[in-house]
Structure 1
Amino acid sequence: MSTSTTTTARRDAAATPTSGRPSWTPVVALSFGIAMVVLSEFLPASVLPALAADVGVSEGTAGLAVAATAIAGAFTAPSIAVLLPRADRRTVLVALLVAAAVSNLAVALAPSFAVLLVGRLLLGVALAGYWSFAFGAGTRAVPGKDHVVSSALAFGTSIATVVGIPLASVVGDAVGWRTTFGGVAVLTAIGAVVLGLTLPSVPPHPAAGLKMLREALRNRRLMAGIACVVLVAFANFTAYPYIRIAIERVDPSTTTWMLLAWGIGGTVGTVLAGVLARWLRPLAATAPLALAFALVLAAFATTVPALAVAVVLWGFAISMMPVITQLWVTRVESERAESAMSLQVTAFQVAITAGSSLGGALLDGYGVRPLMLVGAAAAVAAGLGWAFLRVPRT
């Protein structure tokens, strides 16, 4: 046996405890990776005014930094398993985190908006691939705990929003948005190292590839749910890249605290979605309706208390959706969960692309209120759609 093979075997043995109890360390590492890629994706929203001014574009155009990531992600999510049907998922996940770190470094050093967009396209590849494989890797590490793994990954998203995005706003104001991106690049690289050391080998599904994807696409109930994913993600991301501008419209001095409140609401929503996972259908219907109410309230808020309620409810409602949608698609298509997850990620990325692009156009042309109302309408449609879709019981 070669030295490299021996090292790999020892690492895998260390990652799998001999006591019979599953180790949650790999899931924590996966969650940290999710936190880093999510923080990277939405980092422009925290530093949008400074970023736009520095690279010489309008704030609406700067919002395309989010859309560019989503465009790359929309193409990557359904294709990465097809292109890498036999690759060890641990190797792929680590490589994707490395790519995310490189993309953030490229943005931090970008001399122009065009170069910045190239960096954001690379992030889209990393983000979509990571999301597509992380859930399956987590359930492989701790079998039979799907709802806990889903909540743990979504909790990584919440950590990014509770701590990362408000902190990024503060750091960006204090030392510049480029330093902020550079710092996230370092943290993401650390996450790649930790994941490589803790996650056991994750062989691909024997049927992974184009055939699995085609069969998943034939599942009408799955595709109807994917359409609802598009609607609810579109609802959020028409508005979210411009949340800081919405806050500053009411009171600029509350920006950091409002972003923190959004994240706290998101943490509660993530935990509650995991706890209530057995009632998946009513949960999937009501969370988008709560999001719609929050967006309407944010659109018409003129005082800090009203805006605070809207922001907390907004974070609460949308942060339930990653848990809900992961569980929904993998229950409806349990035999082809990897392809189902890739379609869910694609749905999010398509919606982010369309939503952030439309939101930017509405912001530049009409102000922040119309984009909030468009998002609310899409959220209502998503809630009604899920209300009429059945989901298999576990």
Structure 2
Amino acid sequence: MSNEIAVSPPTSSPTGGDVTPAATWTPVAALTSGTTVLVTSEFLPAGVLPKMAADVGVSDGVAGLAIAVTAIAGAVTAPTIALVLPRADRRTVLVALLAAGAVANITVSAAPNFAVLLLGRLLLGIALAGFWSFAFGAGVTVAPCRSSVVSTALAFGVSLATVLGVPLAALVGNDVGWRAAFAGATVICAGAATWLACTLPPVPAHPSAGLPMLREAVGNRRLMAGIGCVVLVAFGNFAAYPYIRLAIERVTSSHTTWLLVAWGLGGMAGNVIAGALAARLRPLAAGGPALLGLSLVVTAMADAPVQLVIGIVLWGFAFNMVPVATQLWVTRVEPERAESAMSLQVTAFQVAITAGAAIGGVLLDAHGARSPLLVGAAVALAAGLGFGLLRLPAADSSVTARRAGGATP
């Protein structure tokens, strides 16, 4: 595949600025494949948790730390990777991070004990957070003035990971073994790195990337209030999600894999709907967390398969609205420093995943599968209220197009 992007003469944006339209979406598709495989890798333990825990000699609650340590590494990486690599070409960094993801997965696949497994998961956290921090900017660089489409595409990778990755891991884990699931993720990750290297053009860093950009973004009070809401909604989800299989098996054990697929299908629908509602960003950002809270309550209180299906599908639908909404929210609030705003959003997610998985594991071991869902529901509802109270500045598509990526169109 060619990595050339045909360029037509500049045209006027709706706000009066000149932009250069991209003639191919192939690089965006390659970026989406990267998010798919890395997010699949992050949540593989959720699909194979009982067998993985038994094999390495830990409880189900402790095994949930395999997700938490990935998030810890991500929380540290997201705000610092641009400081370490302020001038590095973003294409080179993104390809290297996918390669690191492949190394992380093969390490987990071959891990002789839980300690080595955690080392592999730490490396995956670095790869995932770094990739998320730079992927949106790279996507907007090759597809200027289409930030909502780029955000939806990247978030679609998350939905695809949940609809295919976790259920497929459960199938492979049951039939072949959990180690085979991670070995397969290694191969797919290497393939995604190759595709990205062949299709994404060079993406120079933004001139102010690094500490100056991050310092100014952190000084934006409205942005930081929104980041706090991101922490809450992500915590609400990930207090429960690592233990979704156990929540399903509390009601039925004969349809686990198909209910995981249903979660992902609901997520794909939520992802598309969120992209379609991008113009109504404030109610979208508030409604997603509120709906997530409701879905977790329905799932926790389900005592029959029909109720469980409703809760699971609604859960997937609601949560997968959140990545699209929050990406667009932070870049609306900080269009001039979108790369740093995105890194803070990624950090918020990873901090919340760390805390959510750890606290959810404690609640699971102490009180059973319902408890993490109900606690997550309360926190998600608080996030929805927070986003509802925060005002947004008017959209400026020309600024977003110019500043979100490394290069200026």
- Counterpart for residue 248 of structure 1: 249
Q: What letter matches 1:199 in structure 2? A: L
- Counterpart for residue 78 of structure 1: 79
Q: After superposition, where does 1:315-394 map in structure 2 within 5 Å?
A: 315-394=316-395
- Counterpart for residue 104 of structure 2: 103
- Counterpart for residue 193 of structure 2: 192
Partners of 2:22 and 2:144 within 8 A in 1: no
Structure 1 unaligned segments of length 5 or more: list them. 1-10
- Counterpart for residue 64 of structure 2: 63
TM-score by length of 1: 0.96
- Counterpart for residue 406 of structure 2: none
1:31 matched to 2:20? The reply is no
Q: What letter matches 1:279 in structure 2? A: R
- Counterpart for residue 206 of structure 1: 207
Structure 2 unaligned segments of length 5 or more: list them. 9-20, 396-409
Q: After superposition, where does 1:256-335 map in structure 2 within 5 Å?
A: 256-335=257-336
Cα distance in 2 for partners of 1:365, 1:385 equals 30
Cα distance in 1 for partners of 2:222, 2:23 equals 33
Cα distance in 2 for partners of 1:56, 1:183 equals 23
Deviations 1:33-55 (A, max 9, x none): 00000000000000000000000
Q: CA deviation at 1:168?
A: 1.3
Cα distance in 2 for partners of 1:74, 1:40 equals 17
SS in 1 for 2:320: helix
Q: CA deviation at 1:18?
A: 4.7
SS in 1 for 2:98: helix
Cα distance in 2 for partners of 1:77, 1:385 equals 23
Cα distance in 2 for partners of 1:15, 1:307 equals 48
Give RMSD over aligned pairs: 1.0
Kindly tell me the number of residue pairs found equivalent between the two proteins. Answer: 383
Cα distance in 1 for partners of 2:214, 2:154 equals 23
Cα distance in 2 for partners of 1:162, 1:35 equals 10
Q: CA deviation at 1:286?
A: 1.1
- Counterpart for residue 401 of structure 2: none
- Counterpart for residue 6 of structure 1: none
Deviations 1:265-303 (A, max 9, x none): 000000000000000001111111110111011111111
Partners of 1:15 and 1:23 within 8 A in 2: no
Q: CA deviation at 1:21?
A: 4.6
Partners of 1:52 and 1:58 within 8 A in 2: yes
- Counterpart for residue 22 of structure 1: 23
Cα distance in 2 for partners of 1:116, 1:179 equals 14
* Higher helix fraction (1 or 2): 1
Q: What letter matches 1:88 in structure 2? A: D
Cα distance in 2 for partners of 1:370, 1:128 equals 29
1:153 matched to 2:151? The reply is no
Partners of 2:3 and 2:200 within 8 A in 1: no
Deviations 1:167-221 (A, max 9, x none): 1111110000000000001000010010000000000000001011010000000
Cα distance in 2 for partners of 1:65, 1:163 equals 20
Cα distance in 2 for partners of 1:255, 1:331 equals 39
Q: What letter matches 2:291 in structure 1? A: A
